[in-house]
């Protein structure tokens, strides 16, 4: 178990259906600790409602689930601790929520709050996010901003993380730290 002031952060990146959430679930279950899952999705349409329901039925019922689409830094300060394993799924939905927020300054404030929280909390944490920068430059200013911001966020998080794993076709490819 981690000591009181230790942080273990694992960033898991990959494309859609690459196995990111499956790996995060496996790591959480293997930790032997109580698990808190911070989910960032919003049920804005029927398809997303169905996706959220599939996720609910596939995860252990003993996990504490926190729905936080915007104030992720604040949520991490509350939930990350030395006696708990925390999973955030997923950062790209969180980023989308913020980029579409009515307040155009909220994204930068929440991004900074996330990075500050990560530098101050202690405990075991897995961050799940989609790697969006492997394709062509998207059309449209919002899409380009999304790809830029997610890339910059991933770079900042990868510098902070103890481990970084890229998931491809269900296979973990360690990029930083010991293999999972």
Query: Is position 55 annotated as part of the catalytic site?
Result: yes
Q: Are 63 and 113 in contact (CB under 8 A)?
A: no
Task: Measure CA of the first residue to CA of the last residue in the chain; give whole Å.
Answer: 16
- 17-39 burial, b if ≥16 CB within 10 A, otherwise e? ebbbbebbbebbeebebebbbbb
The structure tokens 């499956």 sit at 22
Among residues 8, 22, 52, 55, which one is catalytic?
Answer: 55
Determine the Cα–Cα distance for residues 178 and 180; give it in Å rounded to an integer.
7
> Which H or E element spans position 102?
none
Q: Indicate which residues carry an active-site annotation.
A: 55
């Amino acid at each position: 178990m981690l000591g009181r002031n230790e942080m273990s952060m694992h960033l898991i990146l990959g494309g859609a259906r690459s196995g990111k959430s499956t790996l995060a679930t496996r790591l959480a279950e293997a930790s032997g600790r109580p698990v808190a899952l911070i989910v960032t999705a919003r049920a804005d349409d029927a398809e997303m409602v169905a996706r959220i329901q599939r996720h609910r039925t596939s995860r252990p019922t003993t996990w504490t689930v926190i729905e936080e689409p915007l104030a992720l830094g604040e949520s991490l300060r509350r939930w990350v601790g030395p006696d708990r394993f925390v999973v955030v799924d997923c950062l790209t939905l969180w980023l989308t929520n913020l980029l579409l927020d009515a307040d155009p300054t909220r994204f930068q404030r929440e991004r900074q709050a996330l990075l500050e929280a990560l530098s101050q909390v202690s405990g075991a944490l897995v961050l799940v996010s989609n790697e969006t920068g492997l394709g062509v430059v998207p059309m449209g200013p919002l899409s380009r901003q999304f790809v830029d911001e997610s890339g910059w966020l991933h770079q900042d998080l990868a510098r902070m993380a103890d481990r970084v794993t890229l998931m491809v076709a269900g296979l973990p490819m360690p990029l930083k730290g010991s293999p999972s």
